[in-house]
Amino acid sequence: MFLGLMLVTDNKGFPVAWEVVNGHAKDTTELKSFVDRISQKFGITEITYCFDRGVASEKNFRLITDCKSKYISAIRDNQIKNVFDLEKFRATSIKITDKLCKNSGEFTPDSKPRRRIVGFDGFDTSDNNIFFKDLGVINKKRYIASFNYSLFIKQYNERQKRIEQALLEITDKNADLETAKSDRDYNATERDFLDILAKYHVRKYFQYSLNPLTTDSKKQSFKIECQLSDDKIQHDQLTDGILVFVSDHIEQNKESNSYIVSASDMISHYKGKHVVENAFREMKSFIELRPIFVWTEEHVKAHYDISIIACFINNFINEKIKDLDESLRDFHSHLEKAGRAVEILTPSGKKIFKLKKVCSQTKTYFSKLGLTKILSPSLHRSHSVSQ
C-alpha cells in the first residue's frame, strides 16, 4: 500500500485540513479534489497555495486559478534562465570565489558578499541575508528573483563535501583494486564505481576510465582514473542560493502603481511553508504513523485522522508552554512519570492504587493548559510516597 498525505496548516502549524490520497495517483489529480473540498467545505473563495518546485506545473497553476485561488511557487533551475540572467547576476553582483577559505575551500560566515549585492540592478534586502528583485509580469505571471546567502553557503559547501567524499571512496576503491587477490571483472568494477557516484549524487561531475593493471599477486585488476568536469560544476554553481518565485498575484494599487502583495510578502509566504514541513517532521517524531495494522480505506483514513489530531494537540500544548522554556519532550516525559499510579495500603489493610501526589511542575503545566480542574484531590495521594 502506497499512501500520500496532503496537509494544510495555519501559520503556527496547526492542522486545518488534510486528505489521505492514493500514493500512485498523479499529484495533479489528487490536488484537484483536495482544492475543491477545501473551497466547498470552508467556503473560502480565495486561497494562496505555496508549494515547492516539485509540484510546480502549468497544469497545477491552471487548476488553482480555476478554483479562484492564488499560488506562489518556485520554478525549477532549468527554467530560471528563461526569466532571469544568471550569468549577468553572477558576473556583476557577487564575485564570491575570491572569498573562499584557502585551506578548506568552503565558504564561511565572514565571507558574506553583502556589499556587492546591495544596490545591484534593483535588488533589495530586508534582513541582509535574502536579496530580491521583482522582475514584474511575464506572460501573465509575476516573477521574483531571490538570492539567499545562507542557502548559497549550504548548497555550495554540500556539493563540495559530496564530491570530496566520493573522491575518498574512489581512492579506497583503487587501493582495494591494487591489492586484489583474485581477478576483477570490468563490468562489476564499473558498477561499484558508479554506485559510489550515485551514492553522493555526483555522477554528472565526473569523467572516468578503467585502466587495466596487474597486481603483485599477478591478478587482473583495474585502476579508476577520473577527473572533475569543472564546466558542469560551475554551471550548477550558478543557481546556488538562487530561487525564482512565480505567482499570479499581479494586482496593483491604481494610485501608487505598486503591487498589492509585495515581493517581500511573497518571499515571506513561501518561506512560511516550512511550517507544514515541520508538521510532517513532528508527526514522524512524536506519533507512530507506521506500521499501519488496518487495511480498509475507512480504517486507514481514521488512523491518519487520529495521528493528525494528536499533532494538533501537540502543537496546542507546545504553544501554551513555550514561555516555560521547556520542550514538548520535557512535557511528555514529565507527564509519563507523574501519571504512574502507586500501590498503597488502606487502614484496613486493603491494597489500592492512586496517582502520585501532584507536584508543582505538574500544576504549572496544567495551569498553562487551563486544565487545573481535572487535578482532583480524590484521584491523588495527599501524603508523601516513596519515589
226 - beta bridge partners? 208
Q: What is the pLDDT of residue 101?
A: 41
Grid cell, residue 301, equals: 483514513
Query: Using one digit for the tens of pLDDT, what is the confidence trace for 195-222?
Result: 999 999 999 999 999 999 999 889 999 9
Query: Using one digit for the tens of pLDDT, what is the confidence trace for 272-316?
Result: 777 777 777 766 666 666 677 777 878 888 888 888 888 888 888
Contact of 15 with 276, CB cutoff 8 Å: no
Greatest CA separation for the chain = 90
Helix or strand or coil: residue 285? Answer: helix
**Percentage of the chain modeled with pLDDT above 70:** 84
What is the residue extent of each domain of the chain? 1-77+273-325, 331-379
Q: How far is CA 51 from CA 48, 54, 261, 365, in A?
A: 10, 8, 17, 36
| CATH number of the 1-77+273-325 domain | 3.30.420
Contact of 164 with 188, CB cutoff 8 Å: no
Q: What is the pLDDT of residue 219?
A: 93
